Amino acid sequence: MRVAARRLRSGLKTFAPLVDPEWAAELREELKWAAGELGHARDTEVLLERLDQHADDLSEREAMLIRAVMDPMLRDRLADAREHALSAMRSERHLALLELLVEGAARPQLTPLADSSCAEVLPPLVDKAWRKLNRSVKELQLEGPSETWHQARIAAKRARYAAGAVIPVFGDPAAELEDALSEVTEVLGEHQDACVAQDVIREIAASRDVDGETGFALGLLHEHEFEEEIHNRVQFRDIWANAKKVQRHTRLV
């Protein structure tokens, strides 16, 4: 559901010249709210699974120490986040969003440009999303700040969603581009997960209940996540080279 909200929001941004700006702005704002309300639960769920799995890569003793302090904390957060999400989904605001979506699907508010040929108006909009991603990637450095990599991930998702949205119109060329960009978003998503994991590990290690031995085990887990982050950055270079190759040969006509 969160992914669907993000795809819709991204599509309204990418194809903005085709839709009424005020109508799209309201819908994008409400979709942002919905995705945010759902995000904490899903992010915590993914993080717990990831850290438990990576803890198993350490010794049995170290994994046990880590899980003893980490699992209860993250499970409490997950329970709170799920309840928060369910509360949001039961709200009047969510019901209003559903009405907006149903009305939008039945009667989208379009601009005159939307009456033009798909072959004329859609390729430049997909290309614009690609060019923004390309600019973001040029800012990346192997030892650069994680925030620039996160921004590239956001741009990659938008480009991927743009390509996916036009598959029903352009077929295989759009599908091939979407597939190549899915590999880009996957490695950048892994990179982001590694960065978030490091922040959470440091937070747990600073807890008063953590003794020296457990702190040392958490330090090893932190190092594991840091190595994953660097590995993802190195891996990205080959994946991006392939994506650029696919994009150069993609002709949406």
Is the residue at 42 inside a domain?
A: yes
* CA–CA dist 247, 127 (Å, integer): 9
pLDDT the model gives residue 251? 85
The pTM score is 0.90
pLDDT the model gives residue 253? 59
Is the residue at 225 inside a domain?
A: yes
Q: What CATH number does residue 169 fall under?
A: 1.40.20.10
pLDDT the model gives residue 189? 96
Tally the domains of the chain. 1
The domain of 19 spans 2-248
Is the residue at 253 inside a domain?
A: no
Is the residue at 114 inside a domain?
A: yes
What residues form DSSP beta bridges with 110? 19
pLDDT means over runs of 10, the chain (253 residues):
93 96 96 94 92 95 95 94 95 97 96 95 96 96 94 97 96 96 97 96 92 95 97 96 94 75
* CA–CA dist 101, 86 (Å, integer): 19
pLDDT the model gives residue 208? 86
Write the CA distances from 92 to 3, 29, 95, 177, integer angstroms.
21, 15, 5, 39
* CA–CA dist 234, 250 (Å, integer): 25
Q: What is the 3-state secondary structure (H, E, C) of the chain?
A: CHHHHHHHHHHHHHCHHHECHHHHHHHHHHHHHHHHHHHHHHHHHHHHHHHHHHHCCCCHHHHHHHHHHHHHHHHHHHHHHHHHHHHHHCCHHHHHHHHHHHHHHHCCCECHHHHCCHHHHHHHHHHHHHHHHHHHHHCCCCCCCHHHHHHHHHHHHHHHHHHHHCHHHHCHHHHHHHHHHHHHHHHHHHHHHHHHHHHHHHHHHCCCCCCHHHHHHHHHHHHHHHHHHHHHHHHHHHHHHHHHHHHHCCCCC
* CA–CA dist 119, 114 (Å, integer): 12
What share of the chain in percent tops pLDDT 70?
A: 100
Is the residue at 110 inside a domain?
A: yes
